[in-house]
Amino acid sequence: MNESLIAPETTPVTRVPAARSALYQLDAATSDLLMASAPLMAEWSRSECKAKSRGGMEQWAKNQNESANGGHPLSCDWYHGTWQYMRLLNMVAVPPWYGFYGRALDTLLSKKPQARVLISACADCGMLTTLHQAIVTSGATPSIVVCDICATPLLNASWYAKRHGFAIECICDNILSTPSLEPGSFDLIVTDEFLTVLPASDKPVAVARWKELLKPGGAVVTTAMVGGATTPELRKRYAERARCLLRETTGDRRLASNGFDELIERADRFAQFHTRHMIVDENEIRRLFSGFYLGFLALTATPGECVNPTHSFQIVATRPRRAAG
């Protein structure tokens, strides 16, 4: 019997839009939300983004470029304080790039309206926004837990939930090790590009953790970029493109009010540190999820970050109801 809640696809389907205009473009409602939210995240990041001994978005710089911060303790403020401004430029991977999230979450929540849902790390409220849209569409009433190693995106998620009148539980801890999450307690785990945040050694740890946290028959819905290393040349081009786009958008008074020079400085710093640990190929995905039923695995084109466009795997993986054998 097929345990998956989504009809299986044994062979990935490459969906490459016929024209670049078919790729995701920022809509007015999301733009308005980000304009209201981005300055808040920038402010929160100054006090809430803490230096961590391991993990978080500063790990790459600590390992590879220890002098990049002038000898000062490095936190993730460069990331969380800038993320939503980069979203306004459509230069960072976000759930709206992937239409499959809405379809998958709507299907899963329709089957289990009172599901217990975990958002497994988040850059901001983007994943919660996508989940909320699926909740409205499906009419579901799930309980939602958001776990991230930094308090800043949790504040943003709480801000969004309060703005829209629903409750969430926030846990500030490392998703890979926190004892605050009970094994076998979630029906659904959703996260966007978390695997490409993690180095190769941590990817199987994350997938094993998801399996541990899911109830039998529960599902993970996620995405993972395919590609190579984030090279200095890619970083340089990324920063140049951000500067160009910021100059083009100075006519928007709401964005310009945040200070053009500061935004340029933020974009340069973001490009200096932001790193993706890409998935190599389909075989890596299948190895990582070998303990799951891969009910949906498909490749899609997105606007991309350093490489435009970029391809990502869209994944729905279900924990088996019974142990193998």
User: Is 186:213 a contact under the CB 8 Å cutoff?
Assistant: yes
Q: What is the pLDDT of residue 75?
A: 86
Residue 240 lies in a domain: yes
Residue 23 lies in a domain: yes
Q: What is the pLDDT of residue 8?
A: 40
Is 259 or 115 the better-scoring residue by pLDDT? Answer: 115
Which own/partner contact pairs does 61-67 have at CB distance under 8 Å and 24+ positions apart? 61/273
Q: What is the pLDDT of residue 320?
A: 96
At 149, list the tokens. 């190693």
| Ramachandran sector of residue 55 (left: φ over 0; alpha: ψ -120 to 50; beta: rest) | left
Averaged pLDDT, 178-192 = 97
Residue 246 lies in a domain: yes
Whether the pLDDT of residue 321 is over 60: the answer is yes
Residue 265 lies in a domain: yes
Q: What is the pLDDT of residue 7?
A: 39
Whether the pLDDT of residue 323 is over 80: the answer is no
Number of domains present in the structure of the chain: 1
At 211, list the tokens. 């399996």
Question: Nearest CA to 6 among 296, 297, 319, 211?
Answer: 296
Residue 96 lies in a domain: yes
Sign, CA dihedral 300-302-307-312, equals negative
- The CATH number of whichever domain residue 180 belongs to comes to 3.40.50.150
CA distance 85 to 256: 11
CB burial of 200-212 (b: ≥16 within 10 Å; e: otherwise) equals eebbbebbebbbe
Averaged pLDDT, 107-114 = 98
pLDDT, tens digit, for every residue of 232-260? 999 999 999 999 998 887 556 566 556 78
Average pLDDT value over all residues in the chain = 88
Q: Among 11-25, 176-190, 192-206, 236-250, whose mean pLDDT is lowest?
A: 11-25
Residue 2 lies in a domain: no
Residue 141 lies in a domain: yes
Q: What is the pLDDT of residue 16?
A: 45
Residue 8 lies in a domain: no
At 67, list the tokens. 């002098």
Whether the pLDDT of residue 302 is over 80: the answer is yes
- One DSSP character per residue, 239-261 reads HHHHHHHHHHTTT-HHHHTT-HH
Q: 262 lies in which domain range?
A: 14-318
Question: Nearest CA to 143 among 175, 159, 119, 179?
Answer: 119
